[in-house]
Amino acid sequence: MQEFALIHRLTKDLPANPAVIVGPGDDCAVLDIGLPDRWLLFKTDAVVEGVHFLPDTEPERLGHKALARPLSDIAAMAGQPTSAVVTLGLPPGFAVHRVDAVYAGLRRLADRHGVALVGGETTTNPGGWILSLAVVGTAPKDRCLRRAGARPGDALFVTGTLGGSAAGKHLDFEPRLAEARWLAQRFAVHAMIDLSDGLAGDLPHLLAPDNLGAELLARAIPISRDARTRSRSGPHPKSPLLAALSDGEDFELLFALPPSQAVPLLDAWKPAFPSLPLSCIGTVTADPGIRLRDRHATRPLEAHGYVHFT
């Protein structure tokens, strides 16, 4: 059973209560805890040795990644993170200095975004290291973005560049928290998601709630320098475009907004975030399915992102 079939099986009959605004199926749970103008965002994420990092991964970078992943989900809903707890699973004979270094990486990123590390849990894990973080944040009720809400004709945008996570970006990425809040404050963003499993893997999650499709422009996909230089090497070489579509762990923002706002957005973005590219990569369509248009033809997108349990 693949990841998303399992998730559907596990979440179809979960208990809820009146506080639940958004339950399973989005980047964060959204809860109403009685704040007058804000909702609570709640997210958990884990990194596992051998899946998300290797035994020789630099521990400071490991700590950074472990917290940056759930912060990226908070960003996808245009939220502000406030606090986190850490569950740390360690194998027998672990090195204490390595744990210290992991926490140094955690603390640096937490300090940068005003996140309090307020506790957690430690446990033995004979299979290797695991770091699981649960993060709490808030978002204004009138500017909390979701995966659902895209409309036919919307322009699709993505921040940064895509592909090349094998070169180390997956350990050093910056969650786009400030950029997401800026977008939500100034533009009518209809839907947004962060790219954890690759553009080809996560775009369907943006389209499925409204039974929509998309047409992507191959020449507009922002391919990273690492994807251009590294993707053709190794035991399973791939084209730079395929790497940008499917490599995963980019943690950039993918969002849809009215086409009338596309040019004003591009004009406002560059002075606000001069070091971060923003690309319009296609449009949302009423017909389901994702198509890729290049100089020669328009064809169904056959690439797919990362899926656990395959």
Domains and CATH numbers, the chain: 3-140 (3.30.1330.10), 155-300 (3.90.650.10)
Contact 177, 75 (CB under 8 A): yes
pLDDT at position 24: 94
Which residues of the chain carry a pLDDT beneath 70? Answer: 231-237, 310
pLDDT at position 304: 79
Q: Which residues contact 144 (CB under 8 A, 6 or more apart)?
A: 30, 39, 41, 77, 78, 79, 184
Chain centroid offset of residue 177 CA: 11
pLDDT at position 306: 73
Contact 154, 85 (CB under 8 A): no
Strand-pairing partners, residue 130, are 48, 89
For residue 288, the one-letter residue type is P
Strand-pairing partners, residue 44, are 134
pLDDT at position 236: 56
Contact 242, 231 (CB under 8 A): yes
What's the residue count for the chain? Answer: 310
pLDDT at position 223: 97
- Centre a 10 Å sphere on the Cβ of residue 94 and count the other Cβ atoms it contains: 15
pLDDT at position 166: 78
Residue among 74, 62, 70, 75 nearest 106 (CA): 62
Burial of 173 (0-12, 13-18, 19+ CB in 10 A): buried
CA atoms of 145 and 191, how far apart (whole Å): 6
Alpha helix (H) residue ranges in the chain: 3-11, 59-76, 96-112, 169-172, 177-186, 199-207, 225-230, 240-246, 262-272
